[in-house]
Amino acid sequence: MSEATPPDDRMELQEDPGQQDQRQQRRLRGSDGRMLLDQYFRVACIGIAGISVVILAFLLGSIIYQGVPSLSWTLLSGTPEPEPSEAGAWPAIAGTIWVCTICALITLPIGIGTAVLIEEFKPRNRLANRIFSAIQLNISNLAGVPSVVYGILGLTAFVSMFGLFGSLKGGESSLEIGAVYYDQFTNLASDPFLSMGAENARERYFLAPVASPSDPPTVATSGMEMFEYQGDQKVPVKISVFDPFGDLPSDPEELSLAIAADTIPGRISEKSWYYFSLPFGRGVLAGSLTLMLVILPVIIISSQEALRSVPSSLRDGARGLGATPWQVVWNITLPAAAPGILTGSILAMSRAIGETAPILIIAGIVYIRNAPQHLMDSYTVLPLQIYNWTSRPQEEFHAIAAAGIVVLLVILLSFNAIAVILRQRMQNKVR
């Protein structure tokens, strides 16, 4: 078949030689034009790439120029004091690390799992197929939703949980694990108004355990056993109740155990690292879950692309050896798709690190002095802290904000670097 001359060529042979020459020349000119177009295209590509590189370099340069002089150990480890020279971003850095780590731990399994379900376990019947297409369409749409919308959604769904557990008054929640409540009493010596006859006694605080946070305040009675912190240890002590205007014991030690009658204690709580409450409130977990909403579509879509790029011959090979669908996914498809999944996940995580709008809504603008201690603890993140600083009137804070941006960039770059190294390693292992 291939040796046979197609009829078109035979027609051409019958044309007169001059015409044929002309055709040949036209062809040559066409090729010249294409070569020239190729050159133009290359120049255009370099130009476009160059513009973006120049803009990026300019931005980076100006940020580094403004920010690097303000970079200091105080900035990395200090708390956000109102005085510019003492201002630090440690609570924000710790908050960013907390929120992003928990966000990654929750989002990656869900996102990759969803992608595996959609790509590898396609349904056989028509109804399920429709449902899958609907899910697919939704995921694609969700990727384009502005993140502030997710912030509002997170506020309703995670922070207050649709009000299912009552309103969020006074930070009380209806379900708690890992919290112990105490009523804190002050002794006579530490009371600024009643300490007149007790100057020679030292100030002490006593804790009376409370069974439930909704209990009425404890009424102190003489001989009641309370706890006192001595160093890190809680030690039981016996307190006594006195009328502050009556006779007081003369022994300073005995006097230091005295509590004024009718003292109203302060309710305090001690929360363990595993403290958990419903609804989540404005805590780290609610923030992480909201960021999960923001990046989940991105992770699902990029994981799907990565899974789709795994040749089906590999799946057939594993299936042909008697691997179950799960074994095919776990041993063959996922490892082969891992570099792609990793790239997409890291891009998504970078977005999560830099995300400000939803955090602004669900964390609220609160002054945070401490790094988060547990999942429900209040927090702030670096972009929010930078936003806060840039909105201050003092010039010094703008320089500190620039330094904060440099810190954020370094965190982002190190994230990306880890991803690139991991991906290279994985690819080297199989090629």
Residue from 46, 48, 131, 321 touching other proteins (CB under 8 A): that is: 321
Place of tokens 């008697």: 322
Contact 297, 143 (CB under 8 A): yes
Under rule CB under 8 A, residue 336 binds other proteins: yes
**Whole-number minimum distance, CB 129 to other proteins, in Å?**
9
**Whole-number minimum distance, CB 139 to other proteins, in Å?**
22
**Which of 148/314 has CB closer to other proteins?**
314
Q: What is the largest CA-CA distance in the chain?
A: 134
Under rule CB under 8 A, residue 327 binds other proteins: yes
**Which of 52/313 has CB closer to other proteins?**
313
**Which of 332/401 has CB closer to other proteins?**
332
Contact stretch for other proteins (CB under 8 A) within 2-10, 261-269, 272-280, 328-336:
328-336
**Which of 271/315 has CB closer to other proteins?**
315
Residue from 248, 323, 347, 422 touching other proteins (CB under 8 A): that is: 323
- Which distant-in-sequence residues (6+ apart) come within 8 Å of 11 by Cβ? none
Residue from 71, 188, 318, 352 touching other proteins (CB under 8 A): that is: 318
Q: Which residues from 41-70 bind other proteins, rule CB under 8 A?
A: none
Contact 196, 258 (CB under 8 A): no
List the one residue out of 212, 149, 150 whose CA is nearest residue 175.
212
- Interface with other proteins: number of residues (CB under 8 A): 23
Contact 417, 349 (CB under 8 A): no
Contact stretch for other proteins (CB under 8 A) within 130-138, 165-173, 175-183, 318-326:
318-326
Contact stretch for other proteins (CB under 8 A) within 95-103, 220-228, 331-339, 376-384:
331-339
Q: Write b or e for each residue in 295-318: b if 16 or more Cβ atoms lie within 10 A of its Cβ, otherwise e.
A: bbbbbbbbbbbbbeebeeeebeeb
> What is the number of residues in the chain?
431
Under rule CB under 8 A, residue 110 binds other proteins: no
Residue from 51, 316, 365, 367 touching other proteins (CB under 8 A): that is: 316
Q: Which residues from 117-136 bind other proteins, rule CB under 8 A?
A: 122, 124
The secondary structure of 387-418 as a DSSP string is: HHHHTSS-HHHHHHHHHHHHHHHHHHHHHHHH
- Which distant-in-sequence residues (6+ apart) come within 8 Å of 111 by Cβ? 295, 296, 299, 300, 303, 345, 348
Under rule CB under 8 A, residue 335 binds other proteins: yes
Residue from 331, 394, 414, 424 touching other proteins (CB under 8 A): that is: 331
The secondary structure of 124-158 as a DSSP string is: SSHHHHHHHHHHHHHHHHHTTS-HHHHHHHHIIII
- Which distant-in-sequence residues (6+ apart) come within 8 Å of 37 by Cβ? none
**Whole-number minimum distance, CB 318 to other proteins, in Å?**
7
Under rule CB under 8 A, residue 116 binds other proteins: no
Q: Which residues from 244-273 bind other proteins, rule CB under 8 A?
A: none
Q: Which residues pair with 270 in a beta bridge?
A: 180
Gyration radius of the chain over CA positions: 34
Residues near other proteins (CB under 8 A): 122, 124, 311, 313-324, 327, 331-332, 335-336, 429-431
